[in-house]
């Protein structure tokens, strides 16, 4: 998103290394703009010109904005348009609004994860980083990514999709893995620590908790906050005897509902059994 149309005043305000990088990005941006419009039919249906126009204001936004939501908004809007356009291309226009919302959150996640990855290198090179510019910690950015991913999962359950096996692995599973890889190991393990159950922990509430995903079965067929042996034995049974490969299933270590795809397994979930 930084590749387009940096003004002379904005370019002068950048550090020397960033000016070199900015020139390279502008050149790359021109090539990408040309390629994006090469397939005229698809480019027209996707609204490529409008998307690139939205992204062209990114440098201006970064110079003028101090709010993280404002800085990531262009990325969200561009992805929202691509996702929504896919509803028309696939002949399911009823999905457009949900796909636009999913795309907006997806674009913001992509922007945030990029900022997390470049947090230190941007500081060393003097380059712009939206987290440092808004005094946002990487931990806070990851928490925002998790919130956006939960919103995407909720919206996803409302889509009309004829065969979503690949889409679930690439979109929902892909986001889960992308965010999980950037979480500190200690934080990942701490999310599933075991504690002594109380009387209130032995049964699920009658109504779904507010953040409980809509597409997960409820109530789960087990009690919450179980002891280690009550988790590990069902986990071995589901994982080692093939059920996890062919059907949607519960991961009994993490208490998460998982897709029937090996690539969608989160290794962090499995490690929690050994904490």
242-274 pLDDT, tens digit each: 666 767 877 777 778 887 755 444 444 544 444
Supply 224's token pair: 């919450």
The pLDDT value given to residue 187: 45
Q: Which long-range contacts (CB under 8 A, 24 or more apart) does 89-93 make?
A: 89/42, 89/45, 92/160, 92/161
pTM for this entry: 0.57
CB 185 within 8 A of CB 145: no
3-49 pLDDT, tens digit each: 444 454 455 554 555 556 666 667 776 777 677 667 777 777 777 77
Q: Where are the domains of the chain?
A: 8-183, 199-274
CB 4 within 8 A of CB 59: yes
CA–CA dist 152, 105 (Å, integer): 7
Closest CA to 13 of 59, 46, 71: 59
Q: Where are the beta strands (DSSP E) in 5-71?
A: none
The pLDDT value given to residue 98: 95
The pLDDT value given to residue 192: 41
The pLDDT value given to residue 19: 57
CA–CA dist 42, 57 (Å, integer): 23
**Residues in the chain with pLDDT values less than 50:** 1-6, 8-9, 14, 186-201, 263-268, 270-275
- Buried-state track 190-227, b at ≥16 Cβ within 10 A, e below 16: eebeeeeeeeeeeeeeeeeeeeeeeebeeeeeeeeebe
Residues 6+ apart with CB under 8 A from 5: 26, 29, 56, 57, 59
For the chain, the 3-state helix, strand and coil shares in percent, each to the nearest 5, are 65, 0, 30
DSSP 250: E
Supply 167's token pair: 């889409």
């Amino acid at each position: 998103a930084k590749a387009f149309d940096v003004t002379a005043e904005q370019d002068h305000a950048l550090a020397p290394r960033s000016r070199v990088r900015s020139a390279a990005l502008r050149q790359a941006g021109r090539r990408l703009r040309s390629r994006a419009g090469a397939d005229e039919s698809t480019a027209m249906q996707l609204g490529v010109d409008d998307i690139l126009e939205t992204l062209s204001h990114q440098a201006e936004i970064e110079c003028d904005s101090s709010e993280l939501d404002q800085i990531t908004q262009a990325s969200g809007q561009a992805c929202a348009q691509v996702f929504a356009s896919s509803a028309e291309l696939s002949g399911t226009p009823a999905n457009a609004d949900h796909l636009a919302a999913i795309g907006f959150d997806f674009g913001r996640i992509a922007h945030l994860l990029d900022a997390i990855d470049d947090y230190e290198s941007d500081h060393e090179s003097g380059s712009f980083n939206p987290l440092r510019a808004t005094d946002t910690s990487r931990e806070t950015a990851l928490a925002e990514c998790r919130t956006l991913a939960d919103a995407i999962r909720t919206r996803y359950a409302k889509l009309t999709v004829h065969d979503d096996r690949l889409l679930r692995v690439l979109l929902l599973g892909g986001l889960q893995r992308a965010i999980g890889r950037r979480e500190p190991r200690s934080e990942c393990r701490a999310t599933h620590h075991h504690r002594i159950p109380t009387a209130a922990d032995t049964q699920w509430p009658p109504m779904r908790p507010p953040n409980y995903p809509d597409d997960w079965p409820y109530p789960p067929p087990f009690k919450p906050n179980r002891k280690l042996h009550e988790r590990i034995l069902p986990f071995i049974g589901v994982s080692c005897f093939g059920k996890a490969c062919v059907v949607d299933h519960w991961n009994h270590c993490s208490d998460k509902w998982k897709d029937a795809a090996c690539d969608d397994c989160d290794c962090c979930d499995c490690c929690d059994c050994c904490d």
